[in-house]
Structure 1
Amino acid sequence: MAWDSEPVIITIAPVGAEVTRDNHPSVPYTPAEIAAASLDAVAAGASVVHLHAREPDGKPSGDPKLFAEAIALIRAKANPIIMVSTGGAVWMTIEQRTLSLEANPDMCSLETGSMNFGDDLFLTSRPDSISSAKLAYQKSIVPEIELFDVGHAVAASRMLGEGHLKGPLNVNLVLGVPGGIDAVPEAIPHLLRPLPGDVRWAVTAVGRHQRRMLAVAMLLGAYGVRVGFEDNVYLRKGQLAKSNAELVEDIAALARQLGRQVATPQQARSILQVK
C-alpha cells in the first residue's frame, strides 16, 4: 500500500487517567463534559473517540454507567467510532479496567503486557490479556492493541497465532511514555517488526514528542494518529491548546499539508472493519 493511499484516521483522547485540571483548566471530568469535548473534536476532524471515565472530582473510574452516559451523549449527535479504555488507571484491577466493555462501545484498547509507567507499575498478565480479548469478542467489540514496547508487539503476535486475537490487527504504537519505547522514528519499525504485514497501525506520542512523531507516522503510511489531552495539553512549546478540538484541527491541517486526506467516521469504519 502506498503511504498516502488511505485517508488518515484521527483519534481524539479527550481525557486519560493521569492528566488533571492542574495540567489544563479545561480537562473534562463529567460525562457531559467529556461528550462535549469529543463532539467538538469530531466536528474538527476526529473519527474515533478514545474514552476514559472520571468521577465528578476527577478521580479515574471504571464505572460503566459513566462510560455509557458519555457514549449516549456522543451518539445522540454524531457517529464516530467509540473506543473505551481497558487500561484504566495503574492502580485498577483487570476486573475494574474491563467494566467499560459493558457500555457497548465499538472498540476497546487492550494491553498485551506489563510495564513501568513512569514511577508506577502497570500490570497486565498474559492471562489477563487473553481474558480481556475473549470478553471483547464475546461482545462484538473490536480490540485495538496498545504497544508501549517491543515485547508487547511480540506478545500480540503470539496471541494472534494462538487464536486469542483475530486478524488483521489494529494496533496503536505508543511512543514516549517513561518506561516504554522512546519517541524516535526508529521506534516505529521496531514495534512493527514482530507483527504481520496486514496490521493496521496508528501512532500516539506523548507530550512534546506528539506533533513531530505523528508527522513521521503519517509520512510512513500510518493508518491513524491520536491527539488529545490524555497525551498532551500543549499546541506548541509553552502554549496550552485551547481545547481538544484545537489539537485535532492542528493535526488535520498538518495531515493535509503532508499529502494525506483526513478520514470521515464512515471511512474509518470501513478501514478498521468496525460495523
Structure 2
Amino acid sequence: MSTQAVSITVAPNGARRGKAEHGAIPLLPAEIAAEARLCQAAGAAILHLHVRDDSGGHSLDVGRYAEAVAAVRAACDIVIQPTTERVGRFAPADMMAVQRGLQPEMITFNLNELIDPQTEAQNALVRDFLAETAAAGTVPQYIVYSLDHLHELVRWWEAGWVPQREPVILIVLGRYAGTTSHPTDILAYLPHIPVRWRWGVCAFGAPELACVTQAALAGGHCRVGFENNLTDAHGMPLKDNADQVGRLAGVLDTLGLARMSAADVRLHFGLKTPA
C-alpha cells in the first residue's frame, strides 16, 4: 500500500437532514446498514455514524447507537465512527456517555463542545476523559471548524492534554448556512497542522468533491456524504451516498492515489479489533 493511501469516510445522514430533503438519506438502523454496505463497495472505509430518535431528531442515545452498530456489523466490516455532536441539544456529559457506553473503534469530538463551560474544573474533567478514551483503545477524530479551533487543539496537545502522539483531525470547510466551500480553503490550514498529525477534510455544497480531492492531493484523507452535500459538482442531485463515494474513488484511482480498505484503516490508525 502506498504511503499516500487515502481513506474515504462516508457521512450518510448527519444530525439535521431528513427524507424531505432527499429520499435516500438513511435514518433507521436497517437503512444505515444497507447504505454502509453500498458505500463500502463503492470505496468507503469508514462510516461516520449519526442516529435519530423516534421523531427523526438527532440522538446520542447509547441504545440506539448499539442497535445501529449491530445492524452495520451484520452488513459489512466498514470502520464505524460514531459522532458526539451536540447540535445544541445535548451536554458534554452526553458526549462522554457515548464513548463510555460504546467504546468504539473511532469516535468524533469537538473539543470546544467538550470544554463547556470553559472553566478549570471542566478542563480537568475533559483532560481525564480524553485519557480515559485513549486507555479504552478508541481513536478520536477531533473536529476543526476554524484556525482558532485548530490552534486551541494544538495548545492542548503541546500541554500533553490530548494524549495521542499523532492526533487525527477533520477540517470542516463551509457551514450548513451562509458559506460555500472552496478547494483552496484547505491551504490556509496546512502550515498550522503539526507534522505527523493525520488529517482529513469534509466540505459543504457542490464543491465537496473538488475540496476533498484537493485534500487528498495535499496528503490528507476525505469525507463525503449527505450530511454535508446532496448534489454533484453541477448542482444535480446525487442518487445516494454511494454515488458520491464512487465518484471520489474514481477520481483518486485516476490520479493514482491508493485507497485504504477498512483493514488498511485499522492498521494505519492503530484501531482495536471491533467488538
**TM-score, length-scaled by structure 1:** 0.87
Q: Indicate the SS of the match to 2:202.
A: strand
Structure 2, unaligned stretches of length 5 or more? none
Cα offsets for 1:119-155 (capped at 9, x unmatched): xxx9674737545523422432111111110111111
Structure 1, unaligned stretches of length 5 or more? 115-121
Pair 1:148-2:145 in alignment: yes
Q: Which residue of 1 aligns with 2:25?
A: 27
Q: Which residue of 2 aligns with 1:54?
A: 52
Using the alignment, how far apart are the partners of 1:177 and 1:131 within structure 2?
A: 31
Pair 1:104-2:103 in alignment: yes
Q: Which residue of 2 aligns with 1:157?
A: 154
Using the alignment, how far apart are the partners of 1:10 and 1:21 within structure 2?
A: 24
Q: Structure 1: which 4+ aligned runs deviate by more than 4 Å?
A: 122-126, 178-182
Using the alignment, how far apart are the partners of 1:133 and 1:210 within structure 2?
A: 31
Q: CA deviation at 1:168?
A: 0.6
Using the alignment, how far apart are the partners of 1:206 and 1:164 within structure 2?
A: 31
Q: CA deviation at 1:64?
A: 0.6
Alignment of 1:72-221 (within 5 A): 72-101=70-99, 102-113=101-112, 125=118, 127=123, 130=127, 132-165=129-162, 166-177=164-175, 183-221=181-219
Using the alignment, how far apart are the partners of 2:199 and 2:271 within structure 1?
A: 15
Q: Indicate the SS of the match to 1:89.
A: coil
Higher strand share: 1
Quick one: which amino acid aligns to residue 98 of structure 1?
A: M
**TM-score, length-scaled by structure 2:** 0.87
Pair 1:233-2:209 in alignment: no
Quick one: which amino acid aligns to residue 49 of structure 2?
A: L
Q: CA deviation at 1:67?
A: 0.8
Using the alignment, how far apart are the partners of 2:64 and 2:165 within structure 1?
A: 31
Q: Indicate the SS of the match to 2:75.
A: coil
Identity across the alignment (%):
28
Q: CA deviation at 1:170?
A: 0.7
Q: CA deviation at 1:43?
A: 1.5
8 Å Cα contact 2:16-2:57 kept in structure 1: no
Shift in alpha-carbon separation, 1:185–1:247, aligned structure 2, 3 A: closer
8 Å Cα contact 1:64-1:103 kept in structure 2: yes
RMSD over aligned Cα atoms: 2.4
